[in-house]
Amino acid sequence: MRSDTAYGPSVMAYYALFTSLSVQPYYSTTVGYGFKTRYVGPGKSLISEAWSYGKQLPFTKGLSTRIPCYFQPCVPTREDTGMVSMDEADFAAAASKGFEFELAGKAGKIVGSIPAHAFRRVLDLKSGMKLPSATPNCAALAKPGKPAKEEEKAEDDE
Q: What is the largest CA-CA distance in the chain?
A: 89
Residue-wise pLDDT for 87-125, tens only, equals 999 999 999 999 999 999 887 889 999 999 999 999 999
Residue 135 resides in a domain:
no
- Asked whether residue 42 carries a pLDDT value surpassing 60, the answer given is yes
Give the pLDDT of residue 126: 92
Residue 9 resides in a domain:
yes
Please give the tally of structural domains in the chain. 1
SS3 44: coil
Q: 20-29, 80-89, 144-153: which has the minimum mean pLDDT?
A: 144-153
Residue 138 resides in a domain:
no
Give the pLDDT of residue 151: 43
- Asked whether residue 152 carries a pLDDT value surpassing 50, the answer given is no
Residue 156 resides in a domain:
no
AA identity, residue 30: T
- Asked whether residue 146 carries a pLDDT value surpassing 90, the answer given is no
Residue 142 resides in a domain:
no
Residue 105 resides in a domain:
yes
C-alpha 147/C-alpha 140 separation (Å) is 13
Range of the domain at 46: 5-127
Residue 86 resides in a domain:
yes
Residue 90 resides in a domain:
yes
Using alpha carbons, list the distances in angstroms from residue 42 to 17, 53, 75, 81, 95: 10, 26, 6, 14, 32
Mean confidence (pLDDT) of the chain: 82
Stronger pLDDT, 145 or 12, i.e. the higher one: 12
Whole-model pTM: value is 0.76
| CATH code of the domain in which 111 resides | 2.60.40
Q: What is the mean pLDDT of residues 119-146?
A: 63
C-alpha 78/C-alpha 76 separation (Å) is 7
Q: What is the mean pLDDT of residues 48-53?
A: 93
